[in-house]
Chains A and B, each alone.
Chain A
Amino acid sequence: MPLENALVVARREYLARVRTKGFWLATIALPLLLAGMGVVPTLLMVGADTGQRLVVVDETGEIGDLLRRELGASEIPGLQEVAGFTLTVEAPAADRQAQRAELNRRVLDGEIDAWSWLDDASITEGRIGYNAESVSNFLTQERLEDALSRAVRVYRLERAGYDAEAVSELTSGVRLKTSKISEEGEKEEGAEAGIILAYLLFFLLYMVLLIYGQQVMNGVLEEKTSRIVEVIVSTTRPFELMLGKLTGVCCTALTQLGIWLAALAVVTLPGVVSAMAWIPEEVDLPTFAPGIFLHFLICFLLGFFLFSSVYAAIGAAFNNVQEAQQFASVAVFFLIAPVFFFWVVINDPDSTVSVVTSLVPLFTPLLMMLRIAIKTPPAWQIVLGYLLTALATWASIWAGARIYRTGILMYGKKPSARELWRWLRRA
C-alpha cells in the first residue's frame, strides 16, 4: 500500500502548525504558567501574612513566654516564612468582660489582628479561642496551633512535675527517610519527589492528548468546510490523508513535548533547584531515569493515535464545531476518567483497582504511565497493557478511517448515530 502522499500530508501539517506563533506561545507559556501556579500563591501568602499581631491574655503566667519561644521554632517546614507573629502577652485585668470587649474593639479598629485567652479551663479542655476578623488564614492558624500545642505540652508536663526538656528528648518523633528501589538500584528520593514526577508526567500526557486530539478534529473540520478536501482526495486515498494528518499533528505534539521535557530536565538540575525558594528544602526533586521517557513516548503514541483517530472521524462526520463537540465530549470523557483514579493509583499502584483500570485500553496510556512513574509494575502488566491498547488503537484507526472516508465528502445534514454506524459497516 503506497503511503507517499501520507508523508506529503504529514509534512504540510507539521510545518503549517509549527510555523504559527500560537504554537510557540503555548510552548513557552505553559511552563511559565505551571511555575507561576507554584510560585505566585506562595509569594502572595508570604507577602500578606508577615506580622500577624496577636495578643495573648495569659492567666497562667507561663504559657505566654513558652509560646513566644515556640513560635520562634516551627516544626513544619516553610510555615515560618509564611506566618510571622508579633506576640504581645497581657495579664488579665480585673474586669475580664471589659477586657474582652476592649480586645474586640482593637481587632475591629485594626490595631491588632487577633487575640487568644489562655486560662486553666481552656488548657484542660484543650480548646483555645482564636478571635479575629478573618479566620480563613489557615496557614497562620496551623502554625499558631502547632506552637501553642507545644507550649501547652511543656506547661502541662512541668505542672505534673516532669522535666520538660528531658521528656521532649525522650518522646521526640522520627521521620521517614524514603528511598526508591528500582532496577537501577536504590536511590534516596523523597515521597514528594515521586508524586511530583508522577503528577507532572500524568497531567502533561493528559493535557497533550486532550489538546492535540481537539486540534486534529478542528483541522479535519477546517479541511471539510473549506472544501479543500475534495481536491486532496482526488489525488490521495482518504486513509492516507487521515494517517498523514495524524502523523503531522503527532510530530507537532512530540516537538512541543520534547521542548518541555528538555526544559524540565534542565530545571531539575540540582543547582537550579536550590535557586528556587518556593520548593521546600526537604523536597528532593525527582531525577529522571531514561527508561521513563521511553514509557512516556509509548504511552503518548498509543494514546494519541487511539483518541485522535476518533477525533478525526468525528471531525469528518460533522459540518461544524458545534455539532462535532457533542460527540467529541464522549471521547473527552474517556480521557478525563483516568483523572478520577489518580489518587487511588498514587496511593497504592499495586491495588486491584489500580491494576485493573490501568489495563483498560482506553485508560492504559494515562494510568499505566502513572503507575510506572510511581513504582515499576510487573513486566507482564506493562506488556499486556501496551498490547491491549495497541489492539484498541488499531481498531480505532480502522473504524475512524471508515467513518472519515464517508463523512469527509458528506455535506449538509448532521448524521445520526445510526448513520455513523452504517458508514462504519459499509465495506
Chain B
Amino acid sequence: MSDKPTLELRQVRKCYGDFVAVAGISLAVPPGSIYGLLGPNGAGKTTTIRMMMDIIAPDEGEVRLFGRPRRPEDRRRIGYLPEERGLYQKMTVVDQMVFLAQLRGLKRRDALPAIRDWLARVELADWERKKVEELSKGMQQKIQLVGTVLHDPDIVILDEPFSGLDPINQELFKELLAGYKTLGKTVLFSTHVMEQAEKLCDSICLISRGRAVLAGRLDEIKRRFGGHSFRVTTDTPAERMVSVAGIEQALPQDDGTVKILLEETARPGEVLGGLVRLGEVAEFRSEAPGLEEIFIKAVRDAA
C-alpha cells in the first residue's frame, strides 16, 4: 500500500450565503488508519463530510481520493453513514440491503452473500425477511451500518456514528470499525465526544468554526501538548489559580483536584512556586493531556 493519503482535502471552502460553513480546511487521511474529525456541534463537520462525499460541491479547494482528484465512480469505493439516516420502513431488511448494494453497482446475486455475512455479524440473520418498521431502533442502526460496508468499500466515512446508539451498540460499532482497519481499510468518522475519538483514532483533525485548528497523528499531538498539563491538589480555589503567571486554565475536577494548563512558554517550576505562594500544595504532577484540553488550548491558540 502506498503512503499517499487515502483521502485529502486541500483548502476546501463552503459558504451558504453570508455564512461561512467551512473556511478552508486541509487534511490528509493516511491509508489503513482511523481518522477522527472532531469539533463541537456547528463546527462544520457535516458540511466537510458532505463535500468529501460529493453530495455538495466546495466553493473552493479540492477533494482528492487515492492520491488523485475525486472521480464520480469513486462513490462505489466509499461507504457512507450520514448523521441523519433513515431506511425505507416498508421494505424488508434484505431488499433494502440489496437496493443499497445495487446503487453501488453490485448485482443482487453477488451482494447477497456479503449481506448475509454482515447480518450474521450484527446478530440480525433471522431478521432479513422482516420489514424495517418491525425492527427496534437499535436494530435499524445496525442495519444502517451494514448498509455502509456491505459493498466492501476501501474507505468508510461516518458522520457522528455513535450518536443515539445504546451502550451495547456503541461497543459493537467501535469493534467493527477497529476490525475494519485491520482489513487494511481506512475509516473516517466525525464526533463531538472527545473520549470516543481518543480511544479509537490514529489521527485527528480538530475543527472549530469551519477551520482546522489542529491536525495530525494523535500520539504526536499528545506529545506536543504534553508537559503543559498538570494535576494539582491544593486548598486554593481554581478561580484564583489563573492569577499565577504561566497558568492558562484551571479546571476543577470531580475528585477535588484541579487540572491546570500552562502557557506554551511557562516553566512548571515557576508555576509551582506561584501556587505555593497562594496556599498549601499537597500534590503537583505532570499529566498526559486529554483531547478535551488539547482542543480547548488549540482553539485559544488559534484565536
Listed in ascending order, the chain A residues whose CB lies under 8 Å from chain B are 2, 4-5, 8-9, 12, 16, 20, 226-236, 409, 411
**Of A5, A227, A229, which contacts B103 at CB under 8 A?**
A5
Q: Are A234 and B99 in contact (CB under 8 A)?
A: no
Beyond A231-B100, A234-B55, whether A226 also contacts B105 by CB under 8 A is no
Does residue B174 face the partner (Cβ distance < 8 Å to A)?
no
Number of B residues, CB within 8 Å of A: 29
Q: How far is the CA of A5 from the CA of B75 in the complex (A)?
A: 12
Q: Are A235 and B82 in contact (CB under 8 A)?
A: no
Please list the 6 inter-chain residue pairs (A to B) with the smallest Cβ-Cβ separation, ordered nearest first: A226-B86, A227-B86, A230-B82, A228-B86, A227-B84, A234-B80
Q: How far is the CA of A249 from the CA of B204 in the complex (A)?
A: 45
**B153 shortest CB reach to chain A, Å:** 11
**B287 shortest CB reach to chain A, Å:** 41
A-chain residues with CB within 8 Å of residue B55 when the two chains form the complex: 230, 233-234, 409
A-chain residues with CB within 8 Å of residue B93 when the two chains form the complex: none
**Of A2, A8, A234, which contacts B102 at CB under 8 A?**
A8
**B95 shortest CB reach to chain A, Å:** 8
Does residue B10 face the partner (Cβ distance < 8 Å to A)?
no
Question: 18 pairs across A/B with beta carbons < 8 Å?
Answer: A8-B102, A9-B103, A16-B91, A226-B89, A228-B87, A228-B88, A230-B55, A230-B84, A230-B85, A231-B80, A231-B86, A231-B147, A234-B53, A234-B54, A234-B75, A234-B80, A235-B100, A235-B104
**B131 shortest CB reach to chain A, Å:** 11
Does residue B116 face the partner (Cβ distance < 8 Å to A)?
no
Does residue B241 face the partner (Cβ distance < 8 Å to A)?
no
Does residue B78 face the partner (Cβ distance < 8 Å to A)?
yes
Q: Of residues A16, A226, A233, A235, which shows the largest number of chain B Cβ atoms within 10 Å of its Cβ?
A: A235
**B212 shortest CB reach to chain A, Å:** 23
* Binary contact readout B85-129 vs A (1 if CB under 8 angstroms, 0 otherwise): 111111100010001101111000000000000000000000000
**Contacts of B69-84 to chain A: CB distance below 8 A:** 72, 75-76, 78, 80-82, 84
A-chain residues with CB within 8 Å of residue B87 when the two chains form the complex: 226, 228
Q: Are A409 and B88 in contact (CB under 8 A)?
A: no
Does residue B56 face the partner (Cβ distance < 8 Å to A)?
yes
Beyond A227-B84, A234-B55, A234-B82, whether A16 also contacts B105 by CB under 8 A is no
Q: Are B105 and A4 in contact (CB under 8 A)?
A: yes
Q: Are B78 and A231 in contact (CB under 8 A)?
A: no
15 A-B pairs besides A8-B99, A227-B86, A234-B53 with CB distance below 8 A are A12-B99, A16-B91, A20-B90, A226-B89, A228-B85, A228-B87, A230-B84, A230-B85, A231-B85, A231-B100, A232-B103, A233-B55, A235-B80, A409-B55, A409-B56
A-chain residues with CB within 8 Å of residue B75 when the two chains form the complex: 234-236
Q: How far is the CA of A20 from the CA of B76 in the complex (A)?
A: 31
**B160 shortest CB reach to chain A, Å:** 12
A-chain residues with CB within 8 Å of residue B147 when the two chains form the complex: 231
Q: Are A8 and B91 in contact (CB under 8 A)?
A: no
A-chain residues with CB within 8 Å of residue B80 when the two chains form the complex: 231, 234-235
Q: Are B103 and A16 in contact (CB under 8 A)?
A: no
Beyond A4-B105, A234-B55, A236-B103, whether A16 also contacts B85 by CB under 8 A is no
**B84 shortest CB reach to chain A, Å:** 4
Q: Of residues A2, A16, A233, which shows the largest number of chain B Cβ atoms within 10 Å of its Cβ?
A: A233
Q: Which residue of B lies closest to A9 (CB)?
A: B103
Q: Which residue of A lies closest to B73 (CB)?
A: A2
B-chain residues with CB within 8 Å of residue A235 when the two chains form the complex: 75-76, 80, 100, 103-104
**A227 shortest CB reach to chain B, Å:** 4
**A221 shortest CB reach to chain B, Å:** 12
B-chain residues with CB within 8 Å of residue A411 when the two chains form the complex: 84
Q: Of residues B50, B103, B105, which shows the largest number of chain A Cβ atoms within 10 Å of its Cβ?
A: B103
Q: Which residue of B lies closest to A224 (CB)?
A: B86
Q: Which residue of A lies closest to B53 (CB)?
A: A234
Q: How far is the CA of A12 from the CA of B75 in the complex (A)?
A: 20
* Binary contact readout B41-71 vs A (1 if CB under 8 angstroms, 0 otherwise): 0000000001001111000000000000000
**A4 shortest CB reach to chain B, Å:** 7
Beyond A5-B103, A232-B103, A409-B56, whether A16 also contacts B86 by CB under 8 A is no
A-chain residues with CB within 8 Å of residue B81 when the two chains form the complex: 231
Q: Are B82 and A16 in contact (CB under 8 A)?
A: no
B-chain residues with CB within 8 Å of residue A9 when the two chains form the complex: 103
Q: How far is the CA of A226 from the CA of B82 in the complex (A)?
A: 12
Q: How far is the CA of A233 from the CA of B57 in the complex (A)?
A: 13
Q: How far is the CA of A232 from the CA of B100 in the complex (A)?
A: 8
Q: How far is the CA of A236 from the CA of B73 in the complex (A)?
A: 10
A-chain residues with CB within 8 Å of residue B95 when the two chains form the complex: 12
Q: Which residue of A lies closest to B100 (CB)?
A: A231
B-chain residues with CB within 8 Å of residue A231 when the two chains form the complex: 80-82, 85-86, 100, 144, 147
